[in-house]
């Protein structure tokens, strides 16, 4: 996830900006840059580490500037795509986090008005818009530019000749650190902690104009004041935003992550999806390959594509496909990989290409090996995932696979429209589950006392049972099995006792009644049963020991809410057992061996 910083005060800005950027390194980045305010906006940026940028700099006595660490989403990591971005004359410079959804239209419009663009980024439209509206005062020009922008942003703008930083926020975090006769701006608290522990958290719609000794804050045009908070965190606590583990932080980032995934692909007004991938590919089946959690996302994708596109879909574990005689035929091959570096998935991708298939990779990491091999790429834009256990990348993969299914679906515009409306509501549904964290934590404590646990479901939630079990085993070291609920009676029933709890996902779809029958069979074998069930389902209570409630959503999207509950369940079970949650034994974030 990109990081932005800004400084204005009585000291030299350059070393402070570099230090602030280093404090944001934990978020991951592929390029970085700074701009110093003087007679020009002096920009230094490249696809290099911050230390290398620092070594390349000459001393500079400017007392104001901005900086950025980029985690590429629009355009590959490169010096040109790195921030800060400038206008035509190079006097206005901007660093930005977020996604400008209408950047293509704005870019076209500005180009027709004579602006020249250098990068592939969405951000670059911001300095050009400010340039267009600049009439001698930076703040009004920024306000006019904001009126043209649709999407999310946290940005800082500077202009040579104006001794000020103008900062604005909508749907992307931004704080102002208040030091002694100096101000710092950043996307995250750790960036400023070496200089101050007094911060203001900006809200959506806020715009601040900051000079060396003054600071004016407006919200939707009206001057306001916001509380100055004292941050009680150490640097490490701050990097986790106060969460005990990155995994928990990343689960909490899921609503935002999935908003980023669909932003840019779904039109704000029409029920249309434009994935920006080739549309003229001739295929009569889809073959998806992936590993681990990504494989579970692929299995959900199969259900979604089968339902909406009605085309044969085959899902293979990449590691198995590589040594199989699977016949691909006229297939569109989709490889799903968060890191884009998993050796088994890369091998499968290469094999599919050699077999003459058109290949599409769904990944989180711009410029990863998979993106250099595949014919087409879809980025899930979940932001860097630090915990070994995949969480937000999984839900973002689900959203992307739903978009692929919807984009190729033959359903009528109205049905597509209502599914897209539901999809847009999913972030809010996830917030509702996060509100129940304490209750889920209680169930986690209970499960922590067992050594063997089954996760069962049917239909589109069967892969979520697999994922729930994988999450639990990888971080809590409890032996867990994901099973199709109807399969337990074909063998695993022999293991069901009072000491073998079952977590059953009871989605209200065409599998519900049969699943209830399966739960009764499990109870007859004395297994404690925890159900994951939607609100309003009163029936389930009479058959199970505990119910974890999830919000009601279209059954197609129920995997997104169910898995979030299971991730929290796994997290709190592992926490109760005192496990090193972010770095489980024997595992690596990216598995680069076969």
338 belongs to the binding site for ligand M6R (CB under 6 A): yes
345 belongs to the binding site for ligand M6R (CB under 6 A): yes
Phi-psi region of 459 (alpha: psi -120 to 50; beta: other; left: phi over 0): left
Among the listed residues 292, 384, 444, 463, the single contact to ligand M6R using CB under 6 A: 292
**Of 69-77, 287-295, 500-508, 518-526, which segment contacts ligand M6R by CB under 6 A?**
287-295
For residue 414, what are the CA distances in angstroms to 270, 271, 390, 422?
11, 8, 34, 12
Spatial separation of the C-alpha atoms in residues 126 and 2, rounded to whole Å: 16
Spatial separation of the C-alpha atoms in residues 403 and 273, rounded to whole Å: 7
Nearer to ligand M6R, 54 or 474 (CB): 474
Does the active-site annotation cover 20? no
Among the listed residues 241, 277, 355, 591, the single contact to ligand M6R using CB under 6 A: 591
Q: Please say whether the dihedral angle defined by the alpha carbons of residues 134, 140, 145 and 148, taken in this order, is positive or negative.
A: negative
**Could you tell me whether strands 206-210 and 215-219 are parallel, antiparallel, or unpaired per DSSP bridges?**
antiparallel
Alpha helices in 477-547 (DSSP H): 512-524
Element (H, E) at 569: helix 558-576
Among the listed residues 152, 342, 359, 371, the single contact to ligand M6R using CB under 6 A: 342
* Residue 177 three-state SS: strand
Q: Give per-residue burial for 10-23: e unless 16+ CB within 10 Å, then b.
A: ebbbbebbbbbbbb
Span 473-492, contacts to ligand M6R by CB under 6 A: 474
368 belongs to the binding site for ligand M6R (CB under 6 A): no
DSSP 151: B
Does the active-site annotation cover 589? yes
**Of 1-9, 157-165, 335-343, 513-521, which segment contacts ligand M6R by CB under 6 A?**
335-343
Nearer to ligand M6R, 239 or 397 (CB): 397
Element (H, E) at 128: helix 125-133
Nearer to ligand M6R, 145 or 346 (CB): 346
Q: What is the total count of residues that contact ligand M6R (CB under 6 A)?
A: 15
Q: What is the DSSP string of 237-272?
A: HHHTTT-SSHHHHHHHTHHHHHHHHHTTTB-SSSS-
**Of 142-150, 292-300, 536-544, 567-575, which segment contacts ligand M6R by CB under 6 A?**
292-300
Shortest distance in whole angstroms from residue 57 CB to ligand M6R:
35
Active-site residue identified among 144, 350, 523, 589: 589
**Of 37-45, 387-395, 513-521, 551-559, which segment contacts ligand M6R by CB under 6 A?**
387-395
Active-site residue identified among 2, 20, 291, 357: 2
- Helix 392-407 crosses helix 254-262 at what angle (to 10 degrees)? 30
Among the listed residues 172, 209, 259, 339, the single contact to ligand M6R using CB under 6 A: 339
Among the listed residues 106, 165, 388, 540, the single contact to ligand M6R using CB under 6 A: 388
Shortest distance in whole angstroms from residue 162 CB to ligand M6R:
45
Catalytically annotated residues: 2, 589
Binding site for ligand M6R (CB under 6 A): 291-294, 337-339, 342, 345, 388-390, 474, 590-591
């Amino acid at each position: 996830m990109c990081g932005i910083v800004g400084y204005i005060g009585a000291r030299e800005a350059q070393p402070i900006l570099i230090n602030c950027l280093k404090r944001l390194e934990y978020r991951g980045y592929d390029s970085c840059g700074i701009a110093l305010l003087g007679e020009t906006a002096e920009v230094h940026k490249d696809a290099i580490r911050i230390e290398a940028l620092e070594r390349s700099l000459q001393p500079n006595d400017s007392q104001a500037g901005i900086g950025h660490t980029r985690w590429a989403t629009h355009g590959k990591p490169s010096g040109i795509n790195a921030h800060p971005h400038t206008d035509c004359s190079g006097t206005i410079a901007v660093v930005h986090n977020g996604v400008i959804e209408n950047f293509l239209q704005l870019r076209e419009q500005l180009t027709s008005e004579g602006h020249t663009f250098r990068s592939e980024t969405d951000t670059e439209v911001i300095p050009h818009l400010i340039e267009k509206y600049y009439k001698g005062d930076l703040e009004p020009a920024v306000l006019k530019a904001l009126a043209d922008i649709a999407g999310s942003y946290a940005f800082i703008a500077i202009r040579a000749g104006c001794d000020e930083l103008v900062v604005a926020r909508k749907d992307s975090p931004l704080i102002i650190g208040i030091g002694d006769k100096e101000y710092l701006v950043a996307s995250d608290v750790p960036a400023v902690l070496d200089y101050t522990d007094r911060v203001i958290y900006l809200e959506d719609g806020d715009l601040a104009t900051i000079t060396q000794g003054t600071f004016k804050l407006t919200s939707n045009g009206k001057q306001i004041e916001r509380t100055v908070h004292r941050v009680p965190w150490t640097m490490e606590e701050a990097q986790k935003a106060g969460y005990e583990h990155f995994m928990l932080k990343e689960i909490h980032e899921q609503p935002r992550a999935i908003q980023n995934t669909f932003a840019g692909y779904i039109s704000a007004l029409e029920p249309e999806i434009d994935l920006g991938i080739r549309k003229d590919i001739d295929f009569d089946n889809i073959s998806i390959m992936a590993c681990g959690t990504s494989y579970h996302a692929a299995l959900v994708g199969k259900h979604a594509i089968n339902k909406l596109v009605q085309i044969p879909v085959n899902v293979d574990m990449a590691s198995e496909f590589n040594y199989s005689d699977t016949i691909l035929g006229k297939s569109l091959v989709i490889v799903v990989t968060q890191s884009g570096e998993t050796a088994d998935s890369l091998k499968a991708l290469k094999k599919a290409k050699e077999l003459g298939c058109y290949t599409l990779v769904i990944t989180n990491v711009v410029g990863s090996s998979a993106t250099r091999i595949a014919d087409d790429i879809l980025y899930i834009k979940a932001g860097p995932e630090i915990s070994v256990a995949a969480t937000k990348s999984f839900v973002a993969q689900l959203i992307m696979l739903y978009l692929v299914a919807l984009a190729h679906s033959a359903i009528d515009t109205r049905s597509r429209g209502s599914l897209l409306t539901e999809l847009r509501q999913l972030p809010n549904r996830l917030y509702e589950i996060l509100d129940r964290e304490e209750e889920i934590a209680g169930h986690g404590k209970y499960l922590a006392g067992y050594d063997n646990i089954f996760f069962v479901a049917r239909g589109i939630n069967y892969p979520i049972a697999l994922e729930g079990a994988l999450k639990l085993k990888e971080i809590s070291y409890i032996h867990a099995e994901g099973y199709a609920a109807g399969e337990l009676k074909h063998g695993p029933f022999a293991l069901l006792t009072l000491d073998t709890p079952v977590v059953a996902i009871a989605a209200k779809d065409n599998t519900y009644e049969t699943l209830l029958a399966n739960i009764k069979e499990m109870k007859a074998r004395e297994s404690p049963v925890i159900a994951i069930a939607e609100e309003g389902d009163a029936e389930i209570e009479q058959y199970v020991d505990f119910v974890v409630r999830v919000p009601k959503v279209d059954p197609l999207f129920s995997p997104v809410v169910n898995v979030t509950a299971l991730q929290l369940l796994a997290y709190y079970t592992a926490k109760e057992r005192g496990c090193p949650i972010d770095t489980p034994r024997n595992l690596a974030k990216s598995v680069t061996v076969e």
